[in-house]
Amino acid sequence: MIDADSVMSPKYATGYEVRDSAGVRLVDVDGGFHFALVNDDDITVPDSYTKVKVPIKNTICMTSLQLSNFTILNAHDVVKGLTGTKNLFNEDILQRVKDGRIVKIGMEGNFDTEMVLAANPDVIFISPSKRGGYDAIKETDITLVPHLGYQELDPLGQAEWIKFVGMFIGKEKEANEVFSGIESRYLNLKSHTSNIKPEDRPTVLSGEMHYGNWHAVGGKNYLAQIFRDAGAEYIINDEETAGEDLEFEKMYSLAANADYWRILNSYPGEFSYEALKASEPRNELFKAFKEKRVIYCNMKQTPYYEISPVEPDLLLKDFVAIFHPELVEAEYEPKYYKLLK
Amino acid sequence: MKVSKFIVLIVAICVMTIVNLLIGSVKIPVTDICSILTGDDSHEIWTNIIWKSRLPQALTAIVAGAGLAVSGLQMQTVFRNPLAGPSVLGISNGSALGVAFVVLLSGRIGGVALSRLGYLGDAAMSVAAIIGALAVMLLIVWISQKVKGNVTLLIIGVMIGYLANAIIGVLKFLSPEEDVKAFVVWGLGSFSRVSGDEMVLFVVLMCILLPLAFLLVKPMNMLLLGDRYAANLGLNVKQARMLVIISSGVLVAIVTAYCGPIMFIGLAVPHLTRAIFRTSDHRLLMPATALCGAALALVCNLIARMPGFEGALPVNSVTALVGAPVIAYVLFRRRRSVEE
């Protein structure tokens, strides 16, 4: 039996709910997915719940965000398959892919069903999107578990999916410990920035223009939340989450005088202000460009998506170190974002 | 009569250019725009929006629209086929293929060199698009010297287009989602990508190429009579055909490189112009088509940027949504008046 003390309903995550009922752990995932986690196959579970025997031994991850949950829990041995290894840095994972302990199953929309079956997963964590390709896998009777961490708007909520994965792989205790560490570090830093007066909060813009449009993340986005928690003000203050494509003139009128400019890309080689200007001549019109206040992370040099989802505290600290350096120790070495020289 | 129509068109272009400067997703009072245009730069942001965003966009729309329309007219004449357009010989597919190689394959083949190109963004796209389009065009020109019939050439062109599309399909399939998205966005077409020195270069190039195209009106008039007639009149048909195809192809290649593949204008504007001017004399038709193309592109650019849409409408959708009904209406009315 699963003991009642280890119940972990999420505090920040909104994509799943957990409750115990008669010794069965019931997990409800947004979008009408219900799983009953049992230790013993003989236990009967409520109708409409899919029975999953835990801890699972084999699984496949569909996204690097999911993989980060396994990495932080030291559970790479459970991962038997990935969609791909592009921009992946983790040496342990790369070694496992190299010697065949982890297989590549192909990208969403076109899975190699044979590889999926060969990986022999108990469940597959999926990240539902419109591209689909899951029907072929459903045919094989493998349980598909949606991992909705990417939908969380709160950085801590996204990190809290560690607990979700922890339940499936029998590492609840570790997951709780890891998460409360993240939580306390994040909240501690946030408490220092929360009383910064509005006039002392620098403004930030984000993203780059491509082919005439600027994809701007919305004011309720994960990133906007981190900016706020780091004591800055994101230039878009709306209710949008994903974001929208803005024309240059719209973005420029919003952000021309923003103090900082955050950019994440995979520029081959050393990114620079010259490269930023070369990609779009009008970039030099922004104040953040003129004053050389571009906050930059290169995904080709820094492992970003594969680990940052479980390190929101470090992301936050990187930003605080730039916006309010006096709040961070002087010798702090940022992991993801640095001011572009 | 004809002269007054030209004057109306030119006035329409001027008016549309001004409206394009006045209206955008950011609200700027008319009085401020006037003072900015007369050299006042006290409001830096608005000044930059007018000079570095709206004006380049309007100029781009004018020359791109004119170029595509002229190119379409040339194709329709050379193939004596009302459904011919700039895309019919696979030339735009060729530029799409060039861009696909850069966007989708960057970092996979050729390592750093190519992927650097991929990132350098819009400038690299332009180069790749021109290379792709010109490569296909040269192939077509070479074939045009080998085969006799226009229809054969047309079919070969369409086949080359399919071939390019097939390769693009494979590349897309093998690429990660964000790269595919980037490619799709490129394919939507836009007049707002070009700015700064690039825009100047684009406008200058078009200002050279369009008059060159006008030099071909005489052979085009003869081609209209049929190959035999033209040959009897002393025209070297093969050579004339080749020159018109090259001129048309280069125009499409350059426009596609800077604005992405913009559909519809090239196919529809020549019909619209013939309906308005009721002539098939290229001495009139060529300049008139260029002006109509410029005017229509300006209208479409304006609609795509109307407050509320804010760049959400791709130019390609607008050209078809706006252009198709207008042109259908014009053709329909002309038809009726002829029947009456």
Which residue from A210, A266, A281 is facing B196, i.e. has the nearest CB?
A: A281
| ipTM for the predicted complex | 0.70
pLDDT band at A213 (very low <50, low <70, confident <90, very high): confident
Which among A131, A247, A257 is the nearest to B305, CB-wise?
Answer: A247
Same domain membership, residue A177 and residue A324: no
Instruction: Tell me the per-residue pLDDT of B243-285, one tens digit each, with 9 for 90 and over.
Output: 998 899 899 889 988 888 888 888 889 988 988 888 889 999 9
CB B247 within 8 A of CB B216: yes
Pick the residue with more confidence: B175 or B46?
A: B46
Rounded to whole angstroms, the Cα distance separating B333 from B336 reads 5
Could you tell me if A160 and A199 lie in one domain? Answer: no
Percent of chain B at pLDDT exceeding 70? 89
Tokens of B216: 């071909």
pLDDT band of residue A87 (cuts 50, 70, 90) is confident
Judge whether B65 and B297 are in contact, CB under 8 Å: yes
Report the chain A residue with the minimal C-alpha distance to residue B306.
A247
From A181, A214, A245, the end of a domain falls on: A181
- B106 pLDDT band, cuts 50/70/90, is low
User: Does the pLDDT value for residue A155 go beyond 70?
Assistant: yes
Percent of chain B clearing pLDDT 90 (strictly above):
23
Residue A129 has a pLDDT of 64
Average pLDDT, chain B: 83
More confident residue, A130 or A75: A75
Question: Which of the four pLDDT bands, split at 50, 70 and 90, describes residue A133?
Answer: low
The stretch B56-73 carries a mean pLDDT of: 94
**One domain for residues A111 and A30:** yes
- Is A190 within a domain? no
pLDDT at position B119 over 60: no
Within a domain: residue A237?
yes
More confident residue, A137 or B11: B11
> B24 and chain A: CB distance < 8 Å anywhere?
yes
Give yes or no for residue B118 having a pLDDT over 50.
no
pLDDT at position A255? 93
Please check whether residues A160 and A204 belong to one and the same domain: no
* pLDDT value of residue B311: 57
Mean pLDDT value across residues B151-172: 87
Q: Residue B310's pLDDT is what?
A: 59
Residue carrying structure tokens 């020549």: B270
> For residue A316, is pLDDT > 70?
yes
For position B199, what pLDDT does the model report? 86
Residue A290: pLDDT over 60: yes
What are A's interface residues with B at a Cβ cutoff of 8 A? 84, 86, 107-108, 110, 131, 210-213, 244-250, 252-253, 256-257, 265-269, 275, 278-282, 285
Which CATH number belongs to the domain containing residue A17 in this structure?
A: 3.40.50.1980
Whose CA is closest to A323, among A217, A190, A221? A190
Q: Is residue A202 part of a domain?
A: yes
Output the pLDDT for position A5. Answer: 46
Q: How far is B313 from chain A (nearest CA, A)?
A: 10
Residues 6+ apart with CB under 8 A from A167: A8, A18, A25, A27, A37, A54, A175
Stretch B64-93: mean pLDDT: 86
Domain assignment present for residue A186? The answer is no
Alpha carbons B142 and B158: distance in angstroms, whole number: 15
Is B185 within 8 Å of chain A by CB? yes
Give the pLDDT score at A1.
Answer: 43
Distance from CA of B44 to the nearest CA of A (A): 9
Are A158 and A252 members of one domain? no
Q: Over the stretch B137-150, which tens digit does the pLDDT of each residue have?
A: 888 888 888 887 77
Which residues form the domain of A23?
Answer: 4-181
**What is the average pLDDT score of chain A?**
88
- Please list every residue in chain B whose beta carbon sits closer than 8 Å to the beta carbon of residue A282: 48, 52-53, 195-196
Task: Tell whether A189 is covered by a domain.
Answer: no
Q: Report pLDDT for B335.
A: 67
- pLDDT recorded at residue A132: 62
**Based on the structure, what is the number of domains in chain A?**
2
Give Cβ neighbours of residue B21 (< 8 Å, ≥ 6 apart). B33, B37, B50, B54, B55, B58
SS3 B157: helix
A172-202 residue pLDDT tens: 999 999 999 999 999 999 999 998 999 999 9
A188 is a domain residue? no
- Domains of chain B with CATH codes: 2-339 (1.10.3470.10)
Asked whether the predicted pLDDT for residue A231 surpasses 80, the reply is: yes
Residue finishing a domain among A131, A149, A181: A181
